[in-house]
Structure 1
Amino acid sequence: MFDLPADVKESAWLIEEASLIWTEVTLDVVAQMDDLSLTALRHLLAAHRHGPLNLSALALHLGMSPSATGRMVDRLVGQELLQRSPATHSRREVRIEVTPRGHEILEQLRTVRRQCIGEALGRLPPEDRRALTRLLQQLTAAAEPPPA
């Protein structure tokens, strides 16, 4: 890692290691869902977190080309996980958002993840759970890009 102090490097390694466990839980759940690839999940999550939004904005959030993003959106519209509708401010712009079925899929994923996380948290003393929760909130806030 770049020019980080040794204690920060060690903490980053430990947090990254822990995050791999939760990533594996997510991948296991996604593997059980028919017709939902990781790329499709990324699109669904981005549309949920940042939407409703247009195709260019979705592509930007994903770091993908608009054409590749558009093809995946077409697929997810066909699976009734995303929907397109005219934007209220422009007739030429199309708004992309998660459908009720898409929200159900995301909730299934989150339910399994929360169950696994809850089971692990249940093995920690209450004061450690509270401290971990507080610190994760701070780490999440620190990871957000600064406002433009």
Structure 2
Amino acid sequence: MPSIERVDESVRSTSAVLRTFLEHLAEMHGRCTADTIATTELTLSQVRMLLVLRQKCEAISVNCLADEVGLSLAAAGRGVDRLVGIELVDRREDATDRRVKRLSLTDKGTELLDKQFALKDDDLKDMVTRLPTEVRARLHDALSDALIHLSPEKVTS
């Protein structure tokens, strides 16, 4: 069984390499992402709201959205008003409680996010293409193994 010092050093060194790798990705593509999001004329909070709505399987309340993005109910409400106004978010009355408004992405909102993520996919494919085949295979295996332990439902082939 490995000693605690070795495990700690392994955790430290792997964390450092992973952080450096992620910083490299962010540096390579951060400017591009900021530029493409800037063209949408959305605030960072509004983009975060869209991302939260994208990952939810069902419509959520404004309260829930405010909690998810760390905004006050008033600030979230203003952001939602803008997103509804530009037809990225749909707001409907709850079927059981008309006082509650339920939010979901519209097709236009989904299309906007899909377009943004498609740009990222192309950037990642370009980066991965530059890796030698054997490095690419090891990276794929290592990331797949990590996902199995961290989030098995997200593992793809």
Of 66, 69, 81, which residue of structure 2 is paired with 1:62?
69
The residue that corresponds to 2:80 in the other structure is 73
Matched residue type, 2:49: H
Aligned to 1:117, the other structure's residue is in SS state: helix
Q: Structure 1: which 5+ runs fail to align?
A: 144-148
The residue that corresponds to 1:128 in the other structure is 135
**1:105/1:128 Cα in 2 relative to 1: closer, same or farther (>3 Å)?**
same
TM-score, normalized by length of structure 1? 0.78
The residue that corresponds to 1:101 in the other structure is 108
Q: Between Structure 1 and Structure 2, how many residues are aligned? A: 140
Measure the CA separation in 2 of the matches of 1:24 and 1:140. Answer: 31
The 10-residue stretch of structure 1 (45-54 or 4-13) with the greater mean CA deviation from structure 2: 4-13
Root-mean-square deviation (CA, aligned residues, Å) is 2.6
Q: Which has the higher contact order (CA 8 A, sep 6+)?
A: 1
Q: CA deviation at 1:64?
A: 1.5
TM-score, normalized by length of structure 2? 0.74
Q: CA deviation at 1:113?
A: 0.9
Measure the CA separation in 1 of the matches of 2:60 and 2:134. Answer: 40
**1:136/1:79 Cα in 2 relative to 1: closer, same or farther (>3 Å)?**
farther
Aligned to 1:116, the other structure's residue is in SS state: helix
CA contact (8 A) 2:45 2:69 kept: no
Partner deviation per Cα, 1:48-107 (whole Å, 9 max, x = no partner):
112521111111111111111111001110111111012234322211011111111111
Partner deviation per Cα, 1:23-56 (whole Å, 9 max, x = no partner):
333212212x232222221111111112521111
Measure the CA separation in 2 of the matches of 1:112 and 1:26. Answer: 8
Of 34, 40, 62, which residue of structure 2 is paired with 1:34?
40
The percentage of aligned residue pairs carrying the same residue is: 29
Q: Which has the larger radius of gyration?
A: 2
Q: CA deviation at 1:119?
A: 0.8
Q: CA deviation at 1:12?
A: 4.2
Of 17, 26, 39, which residue of structure 1 is paired with 2:23?
17
Measure the CA separation in 2 of the matches of 1:125 and 1:12. Answer: 19
Q: Structure 2: which 5+ runs fail to align?
A: 1-7, 152-157
